[in-house]
A and B are shown apart, each in its own frame.
Chain A
Amino acid sequence: MLMCRDLAEIASDYIDGELNGRQNLSVKMHLMMCKDCRTFIGNLRASSNLLSAHSSGKADEEFLRRIDERVAEALNARKIRGSDSE
């Protein structure tokens, strides 16, 4: 029988739909009977959603501007190379 601890070990696989049919069924059965694990799964799923919602655009502006500068330099160099060969 699947214990709470066993369920906790495979909880992410359950959330992501990575379990096989038999495992999936035993998790579902356990969840029907166990309120604590329902809360756990719900909260783990919420944690996962939290990360998706958390803005991934965290690179700081100064870093991005430095990239802009280097790209601009390289683009110019490329243009000069291009017009030389034409």
Chain B
Amino acid sequence: MDTAVHPESEASLIEELKRGDSTAYQKAVREYSPGMLAVARFYLDHSSAEEIVQDCWVTVIDAVQKFEGRSGLKTWLHRIVANRCKNRLRTANREVATDFSETLEPELANRFNSTGRWDLPPKLQFHESADTLMENGELSDCLDKHLSALPETQRSALMLYEAHQHKSDDVCNILDVSASNLRVLLHRARQKIFLMVETFQETGEC
């Protein structure tokens, strides 16, 4: 399911965008909007996030003329979204609160005894490959449900890092979190997905 734009085709896409080719815009909108939405959701509620992404595409038409390709197109777009969101929050005078003090999910932390050994070890091995697992529509729906229930900070970090394959530096930059906090966000989110898949494999229920 790799839809990533390759470097050469990214360069030609950028040229087409600069020329104002509407087909190129449609292609780019489909390629990059999901990631842009993930970034915006780090800061804002769903409808405001969609609004910001729409506005960003309109500003891209002019801004892309000055785009020199020093960063990738995706990173550049994500940065535009992040800046817009930060500006809006600044004017709304609202802070995004996050707790970085705990590295373990409570539900997982409870599974160790006082000496630090497993009390309730993982029972099953997730033997199937990721692609096979994703062919299971129910699991895919379950994953969607759990992803949307994640705190926004964790979801965005996860989507940017795992699904959109950004480098850590880029994610820190886009989301304005420190490297160590990003590690906590990722780890907490992965544990939640781990717990979800475990329940799903054991009970067949989401």
User: Is A75 close to B, CB under 8 A?
Assistant: yes
Per-residue interface assignment for chain A, residues 29 to 64, with 1 indicating a CB less than 8 Å from any chain B CB and 0 otherwise: 000000011011011101111111111111100011
CB-based contact A43/B126 at 8 Å: yes
User: Is A24 close to B, CB under 8 A?
Assistant: no
User: Is B22 close to A, CB under 8 A?
Assistant: yes
Task: List the A side residues contacting B121 at CB < 8 Å.
Answer: 36, 39-40
User: A40: nearest residue on chain B (CB-CB)?
Assistant: B122
CB-based contact B117/A56 at 8 Å: no
User: B185: nearest residue on chain A (CB-CB)?
Assistant: A12
Report whether over half of chain B's contact residues are helix, strand or loop; otherwise say mixed.
Answer: helix
CB-based contact B61/A4 at 8 Å: no
Report whether over half of chain A's contact residues are helix, strand or loop; otherwise say mixed.
Answer: helix
CB-based contact A66/B37 at 8 Å: no
Query: Is the interface on chain A under 10, 10 to 19, 20 to 34, or 35 or more residues?
Result: 35 or more
CB-based contact A56/B198 at 8 Å: no
Could you tell me which residues of chain B, from 4 to 33, have a CB within 8 Å of some CB in chain A? 20, 22, 25-26, 29-30, 33
CB-based contact B163/A54 at 8 Å: yes
Complex alpha-carbon distance, A39 and B163, angstroms: 23
Pick from A11, A39, A66: contact of B54, CB below 8 A. A66
Per-residue interface assignment for chain B, residues 122 to 137, with 1 indicating a CB less than 8 Å from any chain A CB and 0 otherwise: 1011100111011000
